[in-house]
Amino acid sequence: MMTTLEIPSVLSSSQRRCQVLLMLYLPDAAVTAQSIIAANGVDDAIARQDIAETRDEIQRYHRLDIVSHHDGSYRIEGTALNQRLCLLHWLRRSLRLCPHFVTHQFTPALKTALKQHGIARTLYDDTNLRALINFCSRKLQRQFECRDIQFLQLFLQYCLIQHHLGKTPQFSHIQRNWTQSRSEYFTAQEIVRHWKRRVARIPHVDEQLFLALLFMMLRTPDPAMDKHQQDERLRRTIVRMIARFRSQTGMHFSDEQGLTDQLYIHLAQALDRSLFDVGIDNSLPEEIHRLYPRLLRTTKDVLFELEAEFGLRFSDDEMSLVAVIFGAWLMQESDLHEKQVVLLTGDDQACEALIEQQLREITLLPLNIRYLSLKTYQKEGAPREAALVVTPYATTLPLFSPPLIHAVEALNMQQQEHIRAMLES
């Protein structure tokens, strides 16, 4: 049974949510509002708010739910695969945000559960686990940091309990094929062999798949060192993506290798997230769609080849992050800076909105559109940093002004070409 903190601590909202979630993951623990109040040192209202916010987060990113049962206890509900992937993320976060809670509350409770379930001590002994993790490190040719080793010790102990209870993750056909094709799959085989020698229940075949996925999720892609056939396959697809981007837009990247490497690092992890339905914390999609519609549309077009190659669909969140990478490299090419365009405003908001949308469709580059009333412009002129003034209203030029384009209801093709040349120069 989990003990409570004797002296209430002043914790941040993130720390409290981490502790709530770890409490919910402990086997046989009855987590109630009162136990959360005692553990986090908060009142009833804040405890229930923390539960609600934790629930919202794991629903959004892991397709899980926190439900209240008739006895007043809370439990996490969802697939075994999603539950393990959720703990993978939150336990690593907890080791950063609330290590004291992990060391003095979560770890002892986990070991007590291992003992109560009669699991052989040699399987969860810290010394043996560290030896097993070091063996995996050598097999994978990776160096695990101290915090990663601590995480793996705890997470493997949790997996042992889940395995003992018969709660094995299930994989789709695509997920199974992808995991089996990775080098981590053969490393996971060594852990399963270790388990087989010491447990009565023969490990389910999907336990090896999940342990491989565990190491996949911990991987930091390295464009210079990754030589696995799937890494080469991804790299070739990225090269084709960049060529397609270039042919569709007519824009070039002077350092395509640098762009290829950055896309590789991002997409290697995005593939795993997308194939295993793991969400990301990203508030960009709506803003990217509004501010850079052409860049996002072009990114979707070129990513279609990668989606077809690997049999998946990227979420809007993932798509927008790739668009940001392309946009950043376009800006980097010639030390271009975000150009400011002044749009004069009056009494025709519909026309102004149409012109703004046209302006944002003209270029792939970031564009800062600033509204300025017609009266203010006639009186004070345009801001010094403005590169261009666009107006649907007839006006006289002040003494000093950047180039001005007068659009009648909408920008014609000649005006659009002229603006694109100015903005991309």
Query: Using one digit for the tens of pLDDT, what is the confidence trace for 247-260?
Result: 998 888 878 999 99
Share of the chain above pLDDT 70, in %: 93
Range with lowest mean pLDDT among 186-195, 285-294, 296-305, 389-398: 285-294
* Listed residue (358, 396, 392) closest to 377, CA to CA: 396
Distances (CA, A) of 308 to 109, 168, 174, 247, 303: 45, 30, 13, 19, 9
Query: Using one digit for the tens of pLDDT, what is the confidence trace for 310-342?
Result: 989 999 889 999 998 998 888 765 555 677 899
DSSP, collapsed to helix, strand or coil, labels residue 77 as strand
Q: What is the Cβ-side half-sphere exposure of residue 325, based on CA atoms within 13 angstroms? A: 23
Angle between helices 316-332 and 293-310 (to 10 degrees): 120
Q: What pLDDT is stored for residue 104 in this prediction? A: 94
**How is residue 106 written in tokens?**
């979560």
Instruction: Determine the average pLDDT of the residues in 361-372.
Output: 86
* Listed residue (84, 209, 74, 61) closest to 154, CA to CA: 84
How far, rounded to the nearest angstrom, does the alpha carbon of residue 59 sit from its chain's CA centroid?
15
DSSP annotation of 106: I
Q: What pLDDT is stored for residue 231 in this prediction? A: 93
Query: Using one digit for the tens of pLDDT, what is the confidence trace for 336-364?
Result: 567 789 999 999 999 999 999 899 888 88
Residue 204 has pLDDT above 60, yes or no: yes
Mean pLDDT of the chain: 88
CA–CA dist 109, 90 (Å, integer): 17
Query: Using one digit for the tens of pLDDT, what is the confidence trace for 215-243?
Result: 999 999 999 989 889 999 999 999 999 99
Which residue is it, tokens 């345009």? 382
Task: Please enumerate in sequence order all residues whose Cβ is within 8 A of that of 44, keeping only pairs 6 or more positions apart, or say none.
Answer: 33, 37
Q: What pLDDT is stored for residue 164 in this prediction? A: 85
Residue 28 has pLDDT above 70, yes or no: yes
Q: What is the Cβ-side half-sphere exposure of residue 262, based on CA atoms within 13 angstroms? A: 14
CA–CA dist 210, 215 (Å, integer): 9
Q: What pLDDT is stored for residue 13 in this prediction? A: 93
Query: Using one digit for the tens of pLDDT, what is the confidence trace for 371-421?
Result: 999 999 988 888 888 889 999 998 888 777 888 999 887 888 999 888 888
Q: What is the Cβ-side half-sphere exposure of residue 343, based on CA atoms within 13 angstroms? A: 23
CA–CA dist 118, 164 (Å, integer): 9
Please report which confidence band the pLDDT of residue 94 belongs to, taking 50, 70 and 90 as the band edges.
Answer: very high
pTM above 0.75, yes or no: yes
Q: Rounded to the nearest 5°, which phi and psi values hold at 358? A: -60, -45
Characterise 274 by phi-psi region: left (phi > 0), alpha (psi -120 to 50), beta (else): alpha
Residue 281 has pLDDT above 80, yes or no: no
Please report which confidence band the pLDDT of residue 120 belongs to, taking 50, 70 and 90 as the band edges.
Answer: confident
CA–CA dist 421, 419 (Å, integer): 5
